[in-house]
A and B are shown apart, each in its own frame.
Chain A
């Protein structure tokens, strides 16, 4: 089990998925700790997909983007997909203007869409 200090976000396990609402300012240290927490939880729960809800995140800069992509690539190596949902319009605008692309991350409109996407990965992985 993770110690309390290692946990930066609440993670809910639902039907083989991890739901992660991010409701804190992602400074560099926090985003690093978030990565550690996610990888540990993926290993512990053997989740098929992680859904990161970033509705409350007001700034996503190039380093946060990089770390999210890197985390998704790591998760992928552990057999887990990553879906990001709820990017705010000004954040989307800023990322697009900077030319940031999120690799290894699927992007969904909202939580409902994220669950559909996560489910579709599962079918694809089964070869249905």
Chain B
């Protein structure tokens, strides 16, 4: 399932993203966060939601850097529904994968020494939808979305 996901996301030219940030260095975490913030502002999200989205992207980018060393953050506007446009954030890597997804979504669980263990569970709380596909030895894809609330 992971293979299918990552192939369709990374290799299919039909998948157009507004922003693709390659995460290879620590500094790229802040770059991804800044880019996400800008796009969220363009879509017209409230300041609270812009902050939520930027924070979620920060957590996802850091996970890539920490566990997989490299990967991508891909972001696109979702404008099909004109009343409530949204933003989709995909974090993909070909890192070690996650053996127990339930466990990593448990608040406070972490395999990293200097960490609160709030990263992924935090992303899930901050965004509207959250899906994770992972396979040990192959990698991890997190797909998450936030809709702009109708005014």
Contact = CB atoms under 8 A, between A and B. Distances in A.
Contact of B51 (A63, A90, A99): A90
Contacts of B55: 59-61, 94, 98
Tell me what chain B mostly uses at the interface: helix, strand, loop, or mixed. Answer: helix
A114 B63 CA distance: 34
A78 interface: no
B52 A97 contact: yes
B47 interface: yes
A65 B51 contact: no
A93 interface: yes
A91 B118 CA distance: 16
Contacts of B115: 62-63, 66
Given A59-B58, A62-B59, A62-B119, A27 B30 contact: yes
Contacts of A89: 48
Interface centre among A28, A61, A65 (most CB of B within 10 A): A61
B118 A25 contact: no
Interface residues of B, number: 27
Contact of A28 (B48, B62, B119, B121): B62
Interface of B: 26-27, 29-30, 33-34, 37, 47-48, 50-52, 54-55, 58-59, 62, 107, 114-116, 118-119, 121-122, 125-126
Contacts of A94: 48, 51-52, 55, 126
Contact of B126 (A65, A66, A67, A97): A97
B29 A58 contact: no
Interface residues on A, range: 20 to 34
A70 B52 CA distance: 23
A27 B26 CA distance: 8
Given A62-B116, A93-B48, A98 B26 contact: no
B58 A97 contact: no
A51 B119 CA distance: 27
A52 B27 CA distance: 23
Question: 6 closest pairs, A vs B, by CB?
Answer: A27-B30, A98-B122, A90-B51, A61-B58, A62-B118, A90-B48
Interface string A20-42: 00000101110000000000000
